[in-house]
Amino acid sequence: MASFTASLSRPPSPLLQTPAATASTVYIPLSFASRGLYFSVPRPSFRSLQGTCSRGGVAAFVTKATSAGAASAAAEKKANPERVQRVHSIEEFDAALQAAKNRLVVVEFAASDSDQSSQIYPFMVELSRTCSDVDFLLVMGDESEATRALCEREKIDKVPHFSFYKGMEKIHEEEAIGPDQLMGDVLYYGDSHSAVEQLHSGEDVQKLIEDHKADHKLIVLDVGLKHCGPCVKVYPTVVKLSRQMDTVVFARMNGDENDSCMRFLRDMNVVEVPTFLFIRDGEICGRYVGSGKGELIGEILRYQGVRVTY
Q: Residue 2 above 50 pLDDT?
A: no
Query: What average pLDDT does the structure give for the chain?
Result: 77
> What's the whole-number mean pLDDT along residues 197-204?
92
Question: pLDDT at position 46, please?
Answer: 32
Q: Which of 53, 131, 228, 261 is catalytic?
A: 228
Query: Are the CB atoms for 160 and 209 separated by under 8 Å?
Result: no
Q: Residue 95 above 80 pLDDT?
A: yes
Fold of 70-190: Glutaredoxin (3.40.30)
Q: Residue 212 above 60 pLDDT?
A: yes
- Say which residue, 28 or 208, is predicted with more confidence: 208
- 78 confidence band (pLDDT: 50, 70, 90): low
Domain 11-50+195-310 CATH class label: alpha beta
SS3 221: strand
Count the neighbouring beta carbons within 10 Å of the beta carbon of residue 128. 23
How far is it, in rounded angstroms, from Cα 118 to Cα 133? Answer: 24
Query: Are the CB atoms for 223 and 192 separated by under 8 Å?
Result: no
**Element spanning 146, H or E:** helix 145-153
Question: pLDDT at position 193, please?
Answer: 54
Q: Is 231 an active-site residue? A: yes
Count the neighbouring beta carbons within 10 Å of the beta carbon of residue 89. 16
Q: Where is average pLDDT lowest: 47-56, 112-121, 141-150, 299-308?
A: 47-56
Question: pLDDT at position 144, please?
Answer: 96
Please give the share of the chain, as a percent, with pLDDT higher than 90. Answer: 45
Q: Residue 50 above 50 pLDDT?
A: no
- 307 confidence band (pLDDT: 50, 70, 90): low
Q: Where is average pLDDT lowest: 144-158, 190-204, 207-221?
A: 190-204
Confirm whether pTM is higher than 0.75.
no
Question: pLDDT at position 51, please?
Answer: 40
Residues of the chain with CATH 3.40.30.10: 11-50+195-310, 70-190
For residue range 104-113, what is the model confidence (pLDDT) as tens digits? 999 999 999 9
Question: pLDDT at position 4, please?
Answer: 25
Question: pLDDT at position 175, please?
Answer: 87
For residue range 236-253, what is the model confidence (pLDDT) as tens digits? 889 889 888 989 999 999
Alpha-carbon distance values, 80 to 25, 74, 83, 125 (Å): 36, 10, 9, 10
Query: Are the CB atoms for 277 and 223 separated by under 8 Å?
Result: yes
Q: Residue 262 above 60 pLDDT?
A: yes
What is the torsional sign of CA 260, 271, 35, 203?
A: positive
Question: pLDDT at position 127, please?
Answer: 87
Q: Which of 151, 231, 261, 285 is catalytic?
A: 231
Helix, strand, coil shares of the chain, percent, nearest 5, are 35, 20, 40
